[in-house]
Structure formats: C-alpha cells, structure tokens
Chain A
C-alpha cells in the first residue's frame, strides 16, 4: 500500500507544483514539497494526515483547473531510453522484493520516519529524547517525513512501505537529467547521460544508492535540479524551491545550497530575492526546530572547523584520499574520468561558463568535505565511505560538464 501511495501521491503533488511555478520533475518536486510543507506545518503541530490530505485536495484542484505548461514533445533515441527504462524497472522490482539492509537507512533515517509516523510530527517524544535513543537527532527530516507518509498509508511502521520512495527519486533524477539536457543541448545527450546516470553502480548500490534508504540520491537530485535552474536562469523561484529542499534533506545540503546561492546571486542578479523566499522559510523552520531539539551523537562540525589550521597535514591527506574516489571503477565506471576529460575539452575550446560553474560547485565542496573530516578524529579510510556519497551530491554539475563537452565536440 505504501509503495502504491508513493507512485501516486508524490507525482500528483509535483504535477500541481509544476502547474504553479513552471515545469519541475513531478516526483522530485512532489517528494520535496511534501517533506518541506509537512515539516513546517508539523512545527505548528498540524497533524500530518490532515496536511497531507489537504495537499492532495489542493493538488487535485490545481491539476484540474490549471493547464499543463506547453512543452514541445521531444523524440528521444530508443536505445538509451530502453536502457534507462530497463534499469528503472530493475530498481523498482529489486526494491519491491529485497528487504532494506543498508545500515544508515535502517538505524537512522527510517528510525526517524517510524517516529514521525507514530508520534505524528517532528518534535514528538523521540526527538525530545523522552523515550530513549534518537540517533543524529538534529538531522534534517524531509525524506523521513516522506517515508513516514508511506508508513501511515501502509498502516504499519515497516520500512518496506518506503522502498519505492528512494528508487523513484533516482528514476526522477534520471528523467530530470534527460529532459534538461534535451532542452539545454540535445535529446541524444539527455537520453544517453540519463542512461549513464541510472546504471551507475553508486546509484544502484543497496548500501548508499537508490536501493538503500539514504538521502544522498535525493540530495544529488535536488542539487542537480537547482544547478540546472541556475544554468537556465529562468526561474529564481524554482531555484529557491530546490535549494530549500536541499537544506531540509541532509546536513551537507546547507553548504551546497549556500554555494549554489552564491553563484545564483551572480546568475540571477536582483531576482535572487525571489529565490530567498522559499529558502528563508525552510531555514527558519529548520533553525527553529533545532533550537529546541537537542543534538545527540552528531559531530559538531561547525565548532571543529575553526581548528582547521592545526590540521593542515590531515586536510592534505584527505584531499588525496578523496581524489582517488572518482577513479574507483567499481563505483563509477568511467563517469568521473569522463567528466575530467570533458573539463579539459571545454577549457581547450574556451567554453568558460560550464567549466567555471561546474568547478565552482565541485571543488569547494570537495575541500569542505576534506576539511570537515580532517578536523575530526576519523581515519583517512573513512573517505572510502564518505566520498561516494559526496560525489552523488555532485553528479548534476559533473554530468552538465560532460553534456556540454559532448555537445561542443559533436557540433564541431
């Protein structure tokens, strides 16, 4: 029941949002808007089922009354489309059959989802540490709220109901890449890079990818959407909406959103004020919630990072450890190597914009990650687990550089 709910509820909401603010990938927009709105209304103690029900009614009204944005039909090449469809079907079948067994998903994210579903909100007894243990108590809750909805729909606190949520986020990510690159470059580029994305071992991974219950694919998808809005430069509102989803998805979402926002200031000029509205609402909600929900076992990176000057050597070690990860064939195939080649090609062709915007996102985030890990007492091999997650977050900019290089090479 929860799985069926997943494929109906979130796309419906996303379609309605798209009718209001312009085209957005329905599943990603639906998952983002549901988690964000329910987070904010839950702070006012509005019952989750009530808000979710109201959102369904409102979405039906919007979809009924507002016309679909006019979009020219795109003819995608068959082969990559079939490959991507095959992997999407595999992902849905796999997650429907095989029980969840990734550690973080079970011990952290869906533990929170169960608490939200059972306690009816984001500040119930578990989050107030009144009923025992709450790991990573201050982690953002967008996806746990979405997962909680699937459990409420399934009428039991069982992680099986949330399995398609994560699979569909990856599929939505691939569909978004396909559509955006078709619009920015060509349908061939879009279709092939969407296929390349969805068959990446990191995306298919039951440990960190779409077959897990982690938030990295979602953050990667939201970040990619924000990045694509930045490139298109049409809608600061949609840009701000994606940024707000990022901040409510994972802790890393906040610095990544800040980075995108900084570039957005240049790209959108004064119009960036529009983007700040949804972002400000999300941040206000997040910081208000954190003001009374106490941290538990999450490292206080904010304070530790000031120690960075004393950890220069470790910082360098982690940068080196991180640099090896994109070349790990078993996780990425040739993708990141191709991104590197693409950047070189773009530099040789003097296509500065894609190079600058891509590197302006990727390099600071890698440096930030290495810095954050350097100031902790973690060992360099921790990067083996962390680096793939960060690279998932950065897939949007990486794929964009690749698409731009493919486009200029083929157009020659």
Chain B
C-alpha cells in the first residue's frame, strides 16, 4: 500500500468517526439554523434563549439609573442571575442570595426588583419585595391542622401580624376556619377597621397562611374581629417563618372579666375590644386606650389589669429559638 493511501485511509477513518459522532447534533443544529435563518435576529433570540431573554425587556423598563436589585429564590439561581446582569449591562445590578439578604438592606418594600426563581419559571420577573414575600409564603407547604377546638360565631384573634423582623425572623399570622354550616364570615382587622367577608361552606377548611397580607394587602400588627352566620371552628398561630417556629394564639369570644393577672414577658399587650376609648389601670398606672386599639408596654415580672372593662391583656416573650411564648389571662 502506498504511503499516501495509508495516510488517506487513516485520516478518512478519523474524520469519519468524528462525523458519525457529530452527525446527530450536526443535523439538528443545521435544521435549527435553517429554520432560524428566515427570522429577524430578535425572533431568533426569542427562539434560542427562551423566557429569560424575553423577560429582559420588562426589566430594562425599571425606572432610574441606580443598580437594579436581583433577588434569588435560592443560591442555586445564581446562573440565570448572572445572565440577567450580563444582558442588562451597562445598567448596574446588585445580587441578593435570598429575600432575607435583600430585606437586610435599607430597601423600599414597594420598589421594583428582579426576582429569579427557577423552580417556578426560568424568567426574570419584576416584583416588589411584598410580591416576592407573598409568593414565597404561598409556595410553603399547606399546613395540616386538626379540627380546631375553639368554636364560636363572634370572636377575637387577639394578635395578627405581618411583620419582618431582623433577619432571619419574619412573622405572619396563620388562621384556619372550619364552618359548621353554610353561611358567611366577616373578618375585620383592627384598629384600622378594614373588613372583608367571604362565603362559608360546611366543613371547608379556610386557611390564611399570612392573614394580614392575604386579606388586607399590607404589613402591620393588629387584631382580628370575626363574625360568622354559622358556628365556626377556628385556630390561629403566630408563625416565625424565618425560623420555622409557630406559637398558638388563644381566641376569645369576649374580653375576660377583671381583674386579669398575668405572668412575666417581654411585652404586655392591651387590646381594647370596645368601640370607644377606655380608661384602664395597668400595673397601678392609668392609661387611656383608643377604640379597638392594640398597644404594648414593657412587661413586669407580674402584671395586673384592674380597671378597663372590655380590655384583654396578654404578654409575649421571644424565645431563644425564635418562637414566641404568649401568656393569656
């Protein structure tokens, strides 16, 4: 065999092996290129790069010239986050490994940010801190509650909060209602007096994981006045979702009779269930509580509420594990 033929055979075998190896990808890539060739470049990018690229236009419309915050659902979302930064350049971006990192900065809760959560979608979404918070709460697994032991038609949830503490503490109030019969339930967030009503179907579990934000669309601290046309089994918890802790909140049909005696805590809370201002005598000091107010003062080792009909007193203490311990009268 001639020298040239040996080289040709060996070279051809090598090339052929590469061709066989490359053929599937080569065919599909050539088809893809042929299909894309007829399209404008913008459309090609849409086809090739998918929803992440498509979402960049909306991100570019975020007003201002400062760095755009990009919040990751979890650190694994860093890859699309870097791509978004690259696509947005020369607009500066600032990355946050999670919502907790984002809220540790002095931010506006309603300012637009870019949110990357690849477990939901491979796109960059323009959302506010509150939107992201609400979505993350919705994504939490639905808690399984036994049938609550408290039953009533008119009652109070004496503490309802949607507040973000210093990271990782983040509080929300979870409530569950199970109506006995068909009817309606109204729920008023006091002291603001914001009221919502909803239908009740017998035996249906109505769960608000973050009742203040889900029902009233803002953060805040207050209490809930619930009225139903049918007896309702109900329960409520203060949840520290940053530390996966929960403390049950006692429900009351009415303020307990006076005097009320309470043990120690960090804060002593006073809830005025009356529709008028009320004078109270607490730990020997006279106070005036506005209508439907919920207020707190530093707690003593033992606390006494001696005057103030229609007022409910309770204490709260933050535990080392991030949970809250309530003491009820």
Contact = CB atoms under 8 A, between A and B. Distances in A.
B17 interface: yes
Interface string A388-412: 0000000000000010001001110
Contacts of A199: 15, 18-19, 22
Interface in B124-163: none
B86 A160 contact: no
Contacts of A157: 89-90
A26 B195 CA distance: 77
Given A133-B94, A196-B18, A199-B18, A107 B29 contact: no
Contacts of B86: 106-107, 110-111, 114
Nearest to A206: B29
Contacts of A93: 33
A205 B26 CA distance: 9
Contacts of B49: 99, 101
A90 interface: yes
Nearest to A132: B92
B79 A133 contact: no
A115 B22 CA distance: 35
A77 B12 CA distance: 12
A108 interface: yes
Interface stretch (A12-20, A218-226, A305-313, A329-337): A329-337
A90 B30 contact: yes
Given A83-B15, A103-B79, A199-B18, A192 B8 contact: yes
Contacts of A211: 29
Given A103-B79, A111-B82, A132-B94, 13 more contacts: A79-B8, A97-B44, A101-B48, A126-B89, A133-B85, A133-B93, A157-B90, A160-B41, A192-B8, A196-B14, A333-B22, A334-B18, A410-B7
Taking residues whose C-beta sits less than 8 angstroms from the other chain, chain B's interface range is 35 or more
A200 B22 contact: yes
B319 interface: no
Contacts of B41: 99, 160
Interface in B14-41: 14-15, 17-22, 25-26, 29-30, 32-33, 36-37, 41
B11 interface: yes
Interface string A178-212: 00000000101101110110011100111000010
Given A111-B89, A118-B90, A189 B32 contact: no
Contacts of A267: none
B32 A131 contact: no
A186 B82 contact: no
A96 B286 CA distance: 81
Which 7 pairs of residues, A with B, have the shortest CB-CB distance? A192-B11, A333-B17, A333-B18, A334-B17, A111-B86, A131-B92, A107-B82
Contacts of A126: 89
A339 to B, nearest CB: 10
Nearest to A109: B86
Given A114-B90, A196-B18, A410 B11 contact: no
A338 interface: yes
A99 B44 contact: yes
Interface in B57-103: 67, 79, 82-83, 85-87, 89-90, 92-95
A201 B11 CA distance: 16
A135 interface: yes
B10 interface: yes
A295 interface: no
A201 B24 CA distance: 10
A195 B36 contact: no
B120 interface: no
A118 B92 CA distance: 12
Given A99-B48, A131-B67, A409-B6, A192 B33 contact: no
